[in-house]
Structure formats: C-alpha cells, structure tokens
Structure 1
Amino acid sequence: MRKYKEKKFHSKVVHSCKYQVVWCTQNQRDILKGDVVLRLRELIEKSMEAEDVEGEIINLEIFPSYVDLIVSINPQFGIDKLVRHLKRKTSGPLREEFTSIKGRVSSTWTLSYYVNTLDSSASEAIKEYLESQQPK
C-alpha cells in the first residue's frame, strides 16, 4: 500500500476526502476465508492502482462475509464509481479462481453498500447495515 498523506493535489482541486465503505457478500455468506482473502486483498490493491482510479487505500479489512475499506479518493472521481469499480474487478476473478464461491452464491456481492465519511462515527450504522443484509 502506498503511504497516506493528509491532503491530495489533483489538477486544480486540493482535497482530503476519506470514506469508510462496507459491502457484503450475497446473502452474507461466509465465503471470504483463507486464500480467498489473500486474493481479494491483492485484487483490491491492484484495482486501486489503475490509472483511472484516483484514490488510495488507508485501511482494508476483510471479514468472512463483508469488506471494510477506508479510502481517500478524489471527489471528482466519486465514491460510487469507486465501489462499482472494485466490485466489478473482484467478483469475476474470485468466482473463476474459487469454485467454493461460484457454487455457494449466484453473485459474489450484494448490489448495495454502506458509505460514511471518515470524520463521523459509524459503528452503529455499519452494524445496522450488516443486519439489514442478512437473508430474510
């Protein structure tokens, strides 16, 4: 991971936009374990280094049924675009490389995600989001 610096300069924009993003596996299945975690971390880090992505990872934690990412991103790029990019770049390779995932869920990720600016307290809100993603 690259070193995190407080302020970013891009073109005519100086920014310090940090977000916490959480997204779940489909039906909150515990499929992110062992080698899957290592490969997912590698895919996310590689995806963040792409030329068209204007952000960097501050912290990345992978739990059995969800990903918790803290990221600094250029506000002109947009957090929604980043999350869609990461889900798209990780889902296919994980499903191709790990038959344990392909056999357990029809899609790796849910369509939703939780996002919070880093400056606010979000632990209770994340807990509510994770609970709302549980199968009914």
Structure 2
Amino acid sequence: MARKVRRFSGGVYDLGLHVVWCPKYRRPVLGGQVGVRLRELIEQKAAERGWEIIALEVMPDHVHLFVKHDPKSSSSYVANQFKGITSRVLRAEFPHLKSRMPTLWSSSYFVASVGAVSAATVEKYINTQWERPWKREKGDAS
C-alpha cells in the first residue's frame, strides 16, 4: 500500500489505528443481517468523520477495524465513536439484541497505532542521526 499523507493547517499526518471490540459476554450475535448492518454503520460513521477505512472484518463475536484518522481524534475517541452509534442503531433495529444482553458492546476494546514504518525503524533512525554524513559533529553547537 502506498503511503498517503494528509495535510492540515499545522502540518501533515498519516495516522492509523487497529481497533478490535467485542459484544458483551463475547456472544456470537454479529452474523447475518446484524453483521451487514454493522458494516454499513461503521462505513457511514467513518465517512461522516472524514476517516478512511483500510480494512474491516465483522466476525460473529468481534470486530476488527483498520482506520486512518485525523490528528485531533484520540484512539479512545475513534473507538467510542464506532461503538456508540452502532450500539444505539443495532439495538433499535434488532430487538433480540436488547432482550439477550444489557448492552451490545463490552466496555473494553483493543487499539494499537499502525504506521508505515516499524518501531525498530524509527528507533534506529533516531539513534543514528549523528552518523549521517551531512550532520555536524555530535555536540557541536555552532
């Protein structure tokens, strides 16, 4: 995948998150029409916020989402935006989700930042700054 950076008045960014969340009690309730509607709602919310979905898998008992987002949105905000709207709409449209569970989603989720380079690459880049031929001697303040 080619790297695509976005611009805003203060700079450029390329931020991605891998988000995973599960129904309460990890019940397998996301199959069939519920899963189809869940996917639609996630895509709708992403479009509304200007976020880009890179990958989305709705499994019977959990959701995997890889989404690119803006720098003003924290990882918890992104996860909770998807969980909040989908819970409200799905429970209204599918009454069996209300009768079997007190809430649709577990209160927890997993989120990890996803970048174009690995942590090891960034660490090596930072640690070898003074080895670049165009850099001044380490500690040279002039």
TM tier relative to shorter chain: 0.7 to 0.9
Instruction: Please report how far the alpha carbon of residue 54 of structure 1 lies from its aligned counterpart in structure 2 after TM superposition.
Output: 4.2
Q: Is residue 2:52 matched to residue 1:60?
A: no
CA RMSD of aligned residues (A): 1.8
Structure 1, unaligned stretches of length 5 or more? 121-136
Q: How far has the Cα of 1:60 moved from its partner? A: 0.5
Q: Structure 2 stretches of 5 or more lacking a match?
A: 119-142
Q: In the aligned structure 2, how far is the partner of 1:45 from the partner of 1:20?
A: 15
Count of residue pairs brought into register by the alignment: 116
Q: Which residue of 2 aligns with 1:11?
A: 9
2:81 is matched with which residue: 66, 82, 85? 85
Higher relative contact order (CA 8 A, sep 6+): 1
Determine which structure has more spread, i.e. the larger CA radius of gyration. 2
- 4+ residue segments displaced more than 4 Å: none
2: CA distance, partners of 1:10 / 1:79: 19
SS of structure 2 residue aligned to 1:49: helix
Query: Per-residue deviation at 1:7?
Result: 0.9
Report the CA distance between 1:9 and its aligned residue: 1.3
TM-score by length of 2: 0.75
> What percentage of residue pairs aligned between the two structures are identical?
36
Q: What's 1:44 paired with?
A: 42
| TM-fit CA distance, 1:10 | 2.1
